[in-house]
Chains A and B, each alone.
Chain A
């Protein structure tokens, strides 16, 4: 598709849901009600680790107004011995996450749930449930969890032949690092820590479920995938998928955190038991205590470089917190860490470590920011050691088309090199810095993802267009789909409505996650629209009584392909729609694809900080993201991904962290003490979109949502070094930490 001629792709069109969102009409997870609806509430463990000897629900059940009480006995069980894979999740862990089974594994772990006629009665009922706990020793930090005498969470998990909190490993190898390091002129090895941080979506988890007398469930909920909600709920309730209709609400942010269920299966079981529709809404405190943050980590990275700037060997070892049940994103950490570079010898190893914390969930490029943080910090140090600009070092070692990545693939055409080039020549780099100001850079990679998507494109009787896809729109994907459809059909984008179907009205579509939505649904919608255009041409051919091959589709009209085809007045989409009945019936086409070819995304970030040395506060004064975005189908929402990711990275680097008290409880389960960036913390966030079209996508789309969270952690850390001459090896670089480092620095002088 020729760029210059594009009418809608690349345009900043008004999003289809814009008016609903600015007027309060949009229906989010907590906004639906039903006649007869009652309220569900979860009772949560007050202990970080405890055997559940017994649960007595009789007092709660006899409280007037209580309609149902459930425990793990009501949730489908899967033996811990055998994996039951659903997508990237394992249902033997999921059943234990939505409701504690043998043990309560973290403070806030659900142990029972009630449904009652008011929220107040539901609260009271929870207090009447008697749980007999045997409190066990607990562990929340990685170092403690991997000690030989650590309390073991799961006896059935073994590592090196013994019960262990190490639940899995992942290793990537390329070349031979030993030989590589021998060639190096400079070798730097450093250890790092990062703290767990929450996705921080502003909308808490919420759902409404109604199970009818014949056992059919309708679920309204806010999630990153209505089909995931259906499948997981089915597997946890034994209701067949055909009897569950999952309707996606508008979603108030997810960033990966809404790719699994917490409430939906419980509300379904409560509704089935009570015969009433059940609504459940988490408080912020419940979100913080019991939904998944991303992992905290510890890592060691060693890199060897020659004086000419070539990196010859790289080794990384990562330990990631999984939370209480296995499944930390080691793949992202280990696979993405070295992915921007063409390094001949690489060895990356990751460990999945369980501890008494809530189970981690995906967070934007899961694991990759952790992987990149250590690597990008070490690159800053090896660059300094050989006296070369860190961007020049990145340029010299940049992975390109044909590079064999340590995690397996040989790259096709990618745009990493271009992001570094763009950073090198950007005016940001020339702006002079003042006292206690510094500039840092870092890069990052994310795999991106394809997979299943369905779409339906229907032409209405009045000649307009309704497109249905199966992915919750989390950041403006409907606007991009409208642009693509309007472009292909050659009509005004305002004539295209884009809707998100529910599980009963559109074919299976995988999660909104992994930066896959526009890649995959763009392909499915292109396929459907192209089928519609074929049908439109056939209809015009029928009317003109010529060969369909002799019809062109252009700017919303069927036209004879040339003089030989005959002399006919063009037929518009409206005219063809009007004559649909006589030309073959309704006009529309569906497409159900398993998409492939979602090539990786790369970014380089440049950040300027200013440190208040009296208060230890690091302020971001300038920030520019350079990213290969493939093709910006809707530039505003691509920029939005870059800006939002940078802001989350700034929070992760400077302030956000889970703090645990001496009882193994989260001590800061709210926005008061878990401090996410506010508006006055940030400058305008500049973005440079580099378009190296993905050759495997009809519009050249690459996923753009994940990569922006990968570089910021190290870019900020490197900038602080430039400002203060102090290198930090742990996050967050919060005011007390910075002050302490400044004081130690003074003491050393």
Chain B
């Protein structure tokens, strides 16, 4: 079995994995980071979005070995101690979730959006989120949360 090494939420990790292990499986099953979710088999839902070298990526679409040497961050790595990341706080305060299953992926995607576009419009947010499904909210409060989170991140 190949060995894979990467940095996850600032800590270096190294393990032997089956070559076909997906990054999402590695995070969830090997590292116990279950905040990254799996909602589909076809890369549509975005519940699994993490950051790889600072950019959002669907962790179900890449193999763990493809992340060799990368900096990976997951939803668990965002908060600074007990201070939530501004985007997390925005989702919490604006009720940007019902069941919350899509939330980690939404938050990770949204942060990447704001990194690329610091002052997104509603339209920008909606276009950006095409790869993140939510079945509960009709996206209304998610869009509101992201607009508020974008402001707070500039803050």
User: CB within 8 Å of B: which residues of A?
Assistant: 12, 14-15, 17-28, 30-31, 33, 120, 199-204, 250-255, 281, 283-285, 474-476, 636-637, 639-640, 643-648, 670-672, 676-680, 682, 684-685
B44 contacts which of A17, A475, A670 (Cβ < 8 Å)?
Answer: A670
**Contact A643 to B135, CB < 8 A, known contacts A15-B95, A203-B101:** no
A637–B137 Cα gap in the complex (Å)? 9
Residues of chain A with a CB closer than 8 A to B133's CB = 202, 671, 676, 678
A371–B142 Cα gap in the complex (Å)? 31
Quick check: A24 and B74 within 8 Å, CB to CB?
Answer: yes
Quick check: A643 and B79 within 8 Å, CB to CB?
Answer: no
A77–B115 Cα gap in the complex (Å)? 58
A202–B107 Cα gap in the complex (Å)? 16
Quick check: A670 and B137 within 8 Å, CB to CB?
Answer: no
Quick check: A640 and B101 within 8 Å, CB to CB?
Answer: no
User: Lowest 8 CB-CB distances: which A-B pairs, in order?
Assistant: A24-B35, A252-B101, A21-B100, A647-B138, A643-B138, A671-B44, A24-B75, A31-B34
Chain A minimum-CB-distance residue to B75: A24
Quick check: A640 and B136 within 8 Å, CB to CB?
Answer: yes
Residues of chain A with a CB closer than 8 A to B93's CB = 14
Quick check: B98 and A475 within 8 Å, CB to CB?
Answer: yes
Residues of chain A with a CB closer than 8 A to B116's CB = none
**Contact A21 to B97, CB < 8 A, known contacts A648-B135, A671-B42, A671-B133:** yes
Quick check: B92 and A476 within 8 Å, CB to CB?
Answer: no
Quick check: A252 and B37 within 8 Å, CB to CB?
Answer: yes
**Contact A680 to B127, CB < 8 A, known contacts A24-B36, A647-B138:** yes
With an 8 A cutoff between CB atoms, is B102 at the interface? yes
Could you tell me the distance in whole angstroms from the C-beta of A487 to the nearest C-beta in chain B? Answer: 19
Could you tell me the distance in whole angstroms from the C-beta of A156 to the nearest C-beta in chain B? Answer: 37
Other than the given A17-B100, A204-B39, A640-B136, 16 more pairs (CB < 8 A) read A12-B95, A15-B95, A24-B75, A24-B104, A28-B101, A30-B34, A202-B40, A203-B47, A251-B99, A254-B99, A284-B40, A640-B141, A647-B137, A648-B135, A670-B44, A671-B45
Quick check: B136 and A670 within 8 Å, CB to CB?
Answer: no
Chain B, residues 120-139, CB within 8 Å of chain A (1/0): the string is: 00100111011111111111
Quick check: A643 and B40 within 8 Å, CB to CB?
Answer: no
A26–B104 Cα gap in the complex (Å)? 10
A30–B101 Cα gap in the complex (Å)? 11
Could you tell me the distance in whole angstroms from the C-beta of B52 to the nearest C-beta in chain A? Answer: 17
Quick check: B137 and A644 within 8 Å, CB to CB?
Answer: yes
Quick check: B39 and A22 within 8 Å, CB to CB?
Answer: no
Interface-central residue, B74, B130, B142, by most chain A CB under 10 Å: B130
A19–B127 Cα gap in the complex (Å)? 27
Residues of chain A with a CB closer than 8 A to B56's CB = none
Residues of chain B with a CB closer than 8 A to A253's CB = 98-99, 101, 135-136
Quick check: B88 and A285 within 8 Å, CB to CB?
Answer: no
With an 8 A cutoff between CB atoms, is B150 at the interface? no
Could you tell me the distance in whole angstroms from the C-beta of A624 to the nearest C-beta in chain B? Answer: 12
Give residues 66-113 of B contacting A (CB, 8 Å): 74-76, 78-79, 84, 88-89, 91-93, 95, 97-104, 107
Residues of chain A with a CB closer than 8 A to B88's CB = 22-23
A475 contacts which of B99, B122, B134, B140 (Cβ < 8 Å)?
Answer: B99
A18–B32 Cα gap in the complex (Å)? 21
Chain A minimum-CB-distance residue to B20: A120
Quick check: A204 and B130 within 8 Å, CB to CB?
Answer: no
A54–B47 Cα gap in the complex (Å)? 40
With an 8 A cutoff between CB atoms, is B11 at the interface? no
Give residues 20-52 of B contacting A (CB, 8 Å): 28-29, 32-42, 44-45, 47
Chain B minimum-CB-distance residue to A28: B101
B125 contacts which of A639, A643, A647, A679 (Cβ < 8 Å)?
Answer: A679
A202 contacts which of B122, B127, B130, B134 (Cβ < 8 Å)?
Answer: B134
Interface-central residue, A20, A22, A283, by most chain B CB under 10 Å: A22
A680 contacts which of B39, B92, B126 (Cβ < 8 Å)?
Answer: B126
**Contact A679 to B91, CB < 8 A, known contacts A22-B103, A28-B101, A644-B98:** no
Residues of chain A with a CB closer than 8 A to B143's CB = 679, 684
Residues of chain A with a CB closer than 8 A to B103's CB = 21-22
Quick check: B100 and A250 within 8 Å, CB to CB?
Answer: yes
Could you tell me the distance in whole angstroms from the C-beta of A251 to the nearest C-beta in chain B? Answer: 6
A433–B78 Cα gap in the complex (Å)? 45
Quick check: A22 and B92 within 8 Å, CB to CB?
Answer: yes
A283–B38 Cα gap in the complex (Å)? 9
Quick check: A19 and B137 within 8 Å, CB to CB?
Answer: no
Chain B minimum-CB-distance residue to A671: B44
Quick check: A24 and B76 within 8 Å, CB to CB?
Answer: yes
A474–B100 Cα gap in the complex (Å)? 9
A284 contacts which of B34, B39, B98, B141 (Cβ < 8 Å)?
Answer: B39
Quick check: A682 and B100 within 8 Å, CB to CB?
Answer: no
Quick check: A28 and B37 within 8 Å, CB to CB?
Answer: yes
Some 27 contacts from A to B, beta carbons below 8 A apart, are A15-B95, A18-B91, A19-B84, A21-B91, A21-B100, A21-B103, A24-B36, A24-B104, A26-B100, A28-B101, A30-B28, A30-B38, A202-B37, A202-B102, A202-B133, A203-B47, A250-B101, A252-B102, A281-B38, A637-B95, A643-B141, A671-B45, A678-B132, A679-B126, A679-B129, A680-B129, A684-B122
Residues of chain B with a CB closer than 8 A to A684's CB = 122, 140, 143
Quick check: B104 and A682 within 8 Å, CB to CB?
Answer: no
Chain B minimum-CB-distance residue to A635: B95
Chain B minimum-CB-distance residue to A22: B88
Residues of chain A with a CB closer than 8 A to B100's CB = 17, 20-22, 26, 250, 252
A670–B41 Cα gap in the complex (Å)? 7
Residues of chain A with a CB closer than 8 A to B139's CB = 647, 679, 682
A375–B154 Cα gap in the complex (Å)? 51
A283–B42 Cα gap in the complex (Å)? 10
Residues of chain B with a CB closer than 8 A to A202's CB = 37, 39-40, 45, 47, 99, 101-102, 133-135
A26–B129 Cα gap in the complex (Å)? 23
Residues of chain A with a CB closer than 8 A to B37's CB = 28, 30, 202-203, 252
Chain A minimum-CB-distance residue to B129: A679
A200–B47 Cα gap in the complex (Å)? 14
A253–B134 Cα gap in the complex (Å)? 9
A19 contacts which of B74, B92, B141 (Cβ < 8 Å)?
Answer: B92
A24–B102 Cα gap in the complex (Å)? 10
Residues of chain A with a CB closer than 8 A to B134's CB = 202, 679
Chain B minimum-CB-distance residue to A206: B38
**Contact A23 to B75, CB < 8 A, known contacts A640-B137, A671-B40:** yes
Quick check: A23 and B84 within 8 Å, CB to CB?
Answer: yes
**Contact A22 to B107, CB < 8 A, known contacts A284-B41, A678-B130:** yes
Quick check: B135 and A201 within 8 Å, CB to CB?
Answer: yes
A174–B143 Cα gap in the complex (Å)? 47
Quick check: A679 and B132 within 8 Å, CB to CB?
Answer: yes
Chain B minimum-CB-distance residue to A17: B100
Chain A minimum-CB-distance residue to B34: A31
Chain A minimum-CB-distance residue to B125: A679
